[in-house]
Amino acid sequence: MNFEEFCNKVKKSLEDYYGEEKQVEIRSVTKNNGVVLQGLMVRGKDSNLAPTIYLENFFEQYSSGRIFSEIIEEIIGLAVVNKDHLVFNPENFEMFEKAKDHIVMKLINTELNKQLLKDVPNFPFHDMSVVFFYLIEGGEGGNASILINNTHMEAWKTDPDTLYEIALKNAPVMLPAKLHKMDSLMRNIFLDDIRRKFKNGVLNCPSEYDPTNDSWMENLADEMLEMMKNGCESRIYVLTNREKYFGASCLLYDNVLKDCAKQTGGGFYILPSSVHELILVPDKMADDVDSLSRMVREVNDTQVEDDEILGYSIYHYEPVDNLLQIC
């Protein structure tokens, strides 16, 4: 079964499950960096709100041997949970006086989004661009958003300068910046991966642990972290926001880089890990810019989803002059 046949089979299965109760639709969605994905939407007959569930990862799971019925059950669960948790009133989006309280911003790569940038209000920021979105809070595992385009801006009778002023005020409150040591972030990544593998039957609960107690997952994540650190203390940091949702935009918040410099002990290099987070490497920890550049390229090419790549440049922040520049 190829991907197109898989999508059609998913759509047919959901239509059989919901009957006349809901409308099932699959459409191509252009994401960041020009990536096009197949998005599934399940909405009630009287509803214009439908969270998008992307099918590419589910097809990979199916191709790797996961049972099709299990995939359908998970998709149905996601459609129900996301719909129940999203807080969104379309009328509030149409009225600028109400919509403006939900407008925030994100950073995207300028070169990879040249076509998109023709259609959305934006500002250049080094080799990146600032664009704006309406934050819909509450989706399971994160939030949802509506990218603000030129048509929205014209309907609201506003301009890019006003949007930037509003977003710069809202973002630090709605998506406050968080600076973590790298080891705490890696532990969470390990733990999420363990839980996902256990849920999909790839990883079994060790016999010496109580199956009703998932503390063994916490212990395994700790063990994996210690193996990675190999006795070394981590002095590399991750800058993101509280929701880890387009957290690279924290770079734009007032005084955030100054505050980071106080915690890291001085100047630092900034590696664009993804649109969701940045890696900060203190000057004393960096061997040379070339090695950092190779690290960014390797991570982007092997670990980051295509639509989440922020870029390949290395930046440096000097707190004495409050100067951020591309290396």
Q: What are the structural domain ranges in the chain?
A: 3-85, 90-174, 177-234, 255-327
Distance CA 160, CA 148 (A): 11
Maximum C-alpha span of the chain:
64
Query: Is 136 in contact with 86 (CB distance < 8 Å)?
Result: yes
What is the 3-class SS of 164-228, one letter each residue? HHHHHHHHHHHCCEEEEEHHHHHHHHHHHHHHHHHHCCCCCCCCCCCCCCCHHHHHHHHHHHHHH
The strand pairing partners of 145, in sequence order, are 135
Element (H, E) at 281: strand 277-282
More confident position, 47 or 313 = 313
Question: CA 224 to CA 205: how far, in whole Å?
Answer: 16
Structure confidence at residue 139 as a pLDDT band (50, 70, 90): very low
Tokens (6 digits) for 187: 């532990």
Indicate the SS3 state at residue 105.
strand
Q: What is the pLDDT of residue 294?
A: 84
Which DSSP helix (H) or strand (E) runs through 54?
strand 52-54
Q: Which of 122, 84, 126, 136 is nearest to 243 (CA)?
A: 136
Q: What is the pLDDT of residue 140?
A: 43
* Cα–Cα dist 104/148, whole Å: 10
Is the pLDDT at 199 greater than 80? The verdict is no
**In 10 A of CB 225, how many CB atoms?**
18
More confident: 213 or 154: 154
Residues 6+ apart with CB under 8 A from 148: 103, 120, 121, 131, 132, 133, 134, 163
List pLDDT tens digits, range 222-254: 776 676 555 555 578 999 999 889 999 999 999
Strand partners, 41: 25, 52
pTM: 0.77
Of 12, 13, 52, 15, the residue nearest 36 (C-alpha) = 52
Instruction: For 92-105, write each residue's pLDDT tens digit.
Output: 788 999 999 999 99
Cβ contacts of 49 within 8 Å, gap of 6 or more: 43, 83, 86, 88, 90
Q: What is the pLDDT of residue 288?
A: 78
pLDDT at residue 188 tops 90:
no
Tracing tokens 């199916």 back to the chain, one arrives at 62
Q: Which residues of 296-316 are buried (b: 16+ CB within 10 A; e: fewer)?
A: beebbeeebbebbbbbebbbb
For residues 16 and 36, is the Cβ–Cβ distance under 8 A?
no
